[in-house]
Amino acid sequence: MTQQASGLSPDRPARTFEVRTYGCQMNVHDSERLAGLLEEAGYRRAGAGTDADIVVFNTCAVRENADNKLYGNLSHLAPRKQSDPDMQIAVGGCLAQKDRDSVLQKAPWVDVVFGTHNIGSLPALLDRARHNRAAQVEIAEALREFPSSLPASRESSYAAWVSISVGCNNTCTFCIVPSLRGKEVDRRPGDVLAEVQSLVDQGVLEITLLGQNVNAYGVSFVDADQPRDRGAFAKLLRACGRIDGLERVRFTSPHPAEFTDDVIEAMAETPNVCPTLHMPLQSGSDRVLRAMRRSYRAERYLGIIDRVRAAIPHAAITTDIIVGFPGETEEDFQATLDVVAAARFSTAFTFQYSKRPGTPAAELADQVPKAVVSERYQRLIALQEGISLTENTAQIGRRVEVLVATGEGRKDAATARMSGRARDGRLVHFAPGPAGHGIRPGDVVVTTVTGAAPHHLIADGAPLQHRRTRAGDAHEAGRKPRTGVGLGMPAIGVPPAAPATSGCAR
């Protein structure tokens, strides 16, 4: 889209944008695509601390306070919109897909509402709203084109998300995602690998394969000529291992019911697949798992953990747990504590159950009182914090390879520690040593762990090795990888949105 098609004239500076993201890694990656679309359409990112001409909210509908957070932030922009009618506000993502027309009822100053299936329509909708001086709402009911076929402006020079599927075929009673993102659709393996290769060619060292149910990959290929293949995910991991220059491969999130031994073997036998696994538990009670429609039980879950640790002894295993699901008894909760104690997770992402309209669990009887949920939650946190500290303390004295990162934060200003991630995903705050000024995000250092806390490791000795990388070069030069065009599958289903009518405002 040219500058003129975007409502800009050649003698005026490009309009600026800001994308505000809520929710999961899928949303973070979708926001990279939204940024890529807007940059391709002639807009530019707003500078830090400046007011953007366009503010895009990429929303989440999973948590109970998601609505309040969005509408609170929208209300803060209302006075600015009133004083500057040319400023535009767009709301997309899962909450937009769910709430549809009610977004404009609650916040009539919003210009564009778009859903999870048509993020590629955003530039045209902004243009149309500006030309018609009227809000535009477009919520597609089915996937129009695989999102990875859209341009993406990546946030990092050294690590990148790569979607291998969208949607989910599961029917967990607490989750609203399948109704908002649709049934699972898998990309062709060749398209996934082409995107990974493109990222590596631009300096990226680490990729994370993304899917709502990532290890189900291969059961729902969109192409009629691509047969169902339950072993496709393990094959994809091994194929990533053959990409020269790709140093780290991660994936999230698998489902225990479909986690097979061929995946464990591929993880153990592929050197660049990191020794880490995020495996959602949700509950340790078989009765609650049944009510959640989670098609595995505690014994099977722990069996997977045992097999992973047998094949990859130093694997760091993390999980998700929901406390206070409707009908959860003290006995059920104790079963969760028992599984947590047995599994020895390095980290657990714990959530207090929140009722989400539109999910089967919201209609269940025996909603657990909030005070009971809170008390159980604190007990779970205390147990897991102790386990995390013990597991991290066991790392003291070990050498770790750290991919230096931005955005992880320094441990404190007094020590000037830098931060990064070990191969197993643990956060490491390390002393850069006398030559620390030469260590850049994207570089790799090897250091020895000297201390631990529940959520990070400390390495206060001078690095044993420092390797300058192409990713570090790219970060230093301010280069971010771009992907999208020609790397996804062709448009499917409904054709793309028609462009705005001619004669748009200049």
Domain 398-480, architecture per CATH: Beta Barrel (2.40)
- Nearest residue to 121 via CA among 110, 106, 136, 99: 136
Q: Is 398-480 the same fold as 147-394?
A: no
Q: Which residues contact 418 (CB under 8 A, 6 or more apart)?
A: 404, 410, 429, 430, 431, 432, 436, 439
**Topology of domain 147-394, CATH:** pyruvate-formate lyase- activating enzyme (3.80.30)
Residue 38 host element (H or E): helix 25-40
User: What pLDDT score was predicted for residue 2?
Assistant: 43
Q: How far is CA 338 from the centre of its chain?
A: 29
HEC string of 162-211 equals: EECEECCCCCCCCCCHHHHHCCCEECCHHHHHHHHHHHHHCCCCEEEEEC
Q: How confident is the model at residue 59, as a pLDDT?
A: 87
The continuous run of DSSP H or E covering 99 comes out as: helix 94-99
Integer angstrom CA distances of residue 398 from 316, 334, 416, 457: 14, 34, 22, 11
Q: What is the pLDDT of residue 64?
A: 64
- DSSP 3-state percent helix, strand, coil across the chain (nearest 5): 35, 20, 45
**What is the reported pLDDT for 409?**
53
Q: For the chain, how long is the longest CA-to-CA vector? A: 69
504 carries a ligand binding annotation: no
pLDDT along the chain (506 residues), means of 10: 46 83 82 89 89 92 75 92 94 86 90 89 93 90 68 87 90 85 88 95 96 89 77 97 98 93 98 97 98 96 98 97 98 98 97 87 92 98 98 98 81 78 97 83 97 97 95 92 55 32 30
The span from the CA of 166 to the CA of 213, in Å, is 9
Domain range list for the chain: 16-138, 147-394, 398-480
Asked if 223 and 176 count as a contact pair (C-beta separation under 8 A), the reply is no
240 carries a ligand binding annotation: no
Cα 99 → chain centroid: 22
d(C-alpha 257, C-alpha 326), whole Å? 22
DSSP string, 469-484: -HHHHHHHHT---EE-
Could you tell me the pTM of the whole model?
0.84
Structure-token pair, residue 320: 């998700």
* 3-class SS of residue 502: coil
pLDDT at 7: 47
Residue pair 165/186 in contact (Cβ under 8 Å)? The answer is yes
Radius of gyration of the chain (CA): 23
Strand (E) or helix (H) holding 286: helix 286-292
Annotate 279-315 with b (16+ C-beta within 10 A) or e (fewer). bbbbbbbbebbebbebebbbeebbebbeebbeebeeb
Q: Please indicate if the annotation marks 274 as binding a ligand.
A: no
Q: What was the pLDDT predicted at 322?
A: 97
Quick one: 16-138 is in which CATH superfamily? Answer: Methylthiotransferase, N-terminal domain (3.40.50.12160)
Q: Cα separation of 431 and 421, whole Å?
A: 14
Structure tokens at 82: 């009133």
